[in-house]
């Protein structure tokens, strides 16, 4: 599934939220889960001397009976040297799906 969450993890998260009795806490947890599931997925593809970063569309392929990914929009590129210098920051932004902040570090 999207953002590294497996189907079983999402199902267990939903059942955990369903067991919460306080409606305000339950609503907050549902919003957090929705944020996680709707965050855009970013994939980096290695080229000759740089990485290309793309947003990815995730879908289920019935013929292959598994999930597949298709690159959607190119966000930009970053050289290997720059990526190694700012690796922790960039990887954190990719995980969170924060595209606007990520674009500040990329060459468009």
pLDDT at 3 over 60: no
Mean per-residue pLDDT, 21-34: 89
Instruction: Supply the pLDDT for residue 77.
Output: 92
SS3 readout for the chain? CHHHCCHHHHHHHHHHHHCCCCHHHHHHHHHHHHHHHHCCEEEEEECCCEEEEEEEEEEEECCCCEEEEEEEEEEEEEEHHHHHHCHHHHHHHHHHCCHHHHHCCCEC
pTM of the model: 0.62
Q: Where in the chain are the domains?
A: 2-38, 41-103
pLDDT digits (tens, 9 = 90+) for 42-99: 888 898 899 999 988 877 777 877 777 888 888 999 999 999 999 999 988 888 778 8
Residue 4, pLDDT above cutoff 70: no
């Amino acid at each position: 599934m999207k953002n590294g969450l497996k189907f079983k993890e999402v199902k267990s998260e939903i059942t955990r939220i369903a067991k919460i009795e306080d409606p305000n806490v339950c609503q907050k947890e549902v919003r957090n889960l929705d944020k996680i599931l709707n965050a855009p997925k970013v994939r980096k593809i290695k080229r000759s001397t740089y990485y290309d970063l793309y947003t990815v569309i995730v879908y289920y392929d019935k013929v292959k009976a598994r999930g597949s990914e298709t690159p959607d929009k190119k966000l930009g590129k970053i050289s290997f040297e720059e990526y190694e210098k700012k690796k922790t920051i960039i990887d954190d932004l990719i995980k969170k799906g924060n595209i606007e902040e990520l674009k500040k570090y990329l060459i468009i």
